[in-house]
Amino acid sequence: MNTLEYALKLQQIANILTAGDRQQPVRGGEVWLVGAGPGDVELLTLKALRAIQQADVVVFDRLVSPPVMALIPDEALRIDVGKSMRNHTLGQGEINQLLVDLAHSGHRVVRLKGGDPFVFGRGGEEMAHCQRYGVPCHIVPGITAAMGCAAASGIPLTHRDLAQSVRFVTGHGAQGEPDVDWSALASARQTLVFYMGITHSGHISQRLVAHGLPAATPVAVIERGTQPEQRVLTATLDSLAQIVAREKVKTPALLIVGEVVKMYRDAGPRRSGAADACVENHPQPSALALG
């Protein structure tokens, strides 16, 4: 793709954003729950980009990547409500009410979440709270971590010969260890994706083996998926905990369990985005110029 073709592509995107402004503008007194995807800024939807660039206030999570954060207008207020296992800036109830209060003050509020708002993102609770207090709440889906990390690693979540279903599972329960139906999860010919499961990886592997999955079932650990720092480790259920400890795996990371992991091939260091191969020799205008 030459410089002229790239400029035309940017103009097409700008035209789409302008059309979106007319169809469903971001107004004051509203909340937009926006999925930021798993990290790669190029995986944002155009609707997400438009909402971010029109925001007065952005209430964001810790898993939103720096390149996505860079799209927020300089004049917008940024409020960090990120939560980790032992450190909550605000409780969920306080976040819910914050969104309502900001909208009632007439602000265009974007609640920016890693992945998708409705996949382990507490988006349903925030939407319900806004609706309870009469605040219009719009949902902009994002590519969830399971889909993004699997694609970036070349691991299909379903495959005609290997897995006829896929399950997204929380790896962290209200009391710590996940409380799930392990017998159902131990079924053959399906793919399991555990979110927030690194801390309890040993417990997860033990329970799956105890309920019937072979100890040699392949597992992929994907750290910082879709981002330039992405790291993929492969293991089996019986070696998972040791590999997580030995390699000092850090969040954000997820686990993919199932025969589809055998299709992973190490392709070497990742590029920062799928479009790089087309435009690596041409300077790219700032994404902020699209608004």
| Furthest C-alpha separation in the chain | 59
Whole-angstrom Cα distance, residue 135 to residue 150? 36
Mean pLDDT across 166-180: 80
For residue 83, indicate whether it is catalytic. Answer: yes
List b or e across 116-144, with b for residues whose CB sees 16 or more CB atoms inside 10 angstroms: bbbbbbbbeebbebbeeeebebbbbbbbb
Q: Provide the mean pLDDT of the chain.
A: 86
Span 137-146, average pLDDT = 96
Per-residue pLDDT for 289 more than 50? no
What was the pLDDT predicted at 88? Answer: 56
HSE value, Cβ hemisphere, 13 Å, CA-based, for 102? 25
* Residue 7 confidence class, pLDDT cut points 50, 70, 90: low
Among residues 47, 61, 113, 116, which one is catalytic?
61
Catalytic residue status for 80: no
Average of pLDDT values for 178-199? 91
Residue 204 has pLDDT above 60, yes or no: yes
Q: Are 92 and 18 in contact (CB under 8 A)?
A: no
- Give the pLDDT of residue 175: 62
Query: Quick one: pLDDT band at residue 217, thresholds 50, 70, 90?
Result: very high
**Averaged pLDDT for residues 31-59:** 96
Mean pLDDT of 165-189: 85
Closest by CA to 115, choosing from 91, 149, 86, is 149
| The model scores a pTM over 0.85 | no
pLDDT band at 171 (very low <50, low <70, confident <90, very high): confident
Q: Above 90 in pLDDT, residue 195?
A: yes
Active-site entry in 9, 21, 56, 83: 83
**What are 234-271's pLDDT values in tens digits?**
999 999 999 999 999 998 999 999 999 999 987 665 55
Instruction: State pLDDT tens for residues 65-114.
Output: 999 999 999 999 999 998 665 555 789 999 999 999 999 999 999 999 99
